[in-house]
Amino acid sequence: METASNKRESFGEILQGNTPVLVDFFAEWCGPCRLMKPVLEELHQRMGDKVRILKIDIDKSPALADSLNIHSVPTLMLFQNGRSLWRQSGVVQASPLEKIIQQHITNQP
CA atoms within 13 A on the CB side of 78: 19
Helix axes 94-106, 31-47, angle to 10 degrees: 60
* Catalytic residue selected from 23, 33, 70, 97: 33
Active-site residue, 30 included: yes
* Catalytic residue selected from 30, 64, 91, 105: 30
> What positions carry a catalytic annotation?
30, 33
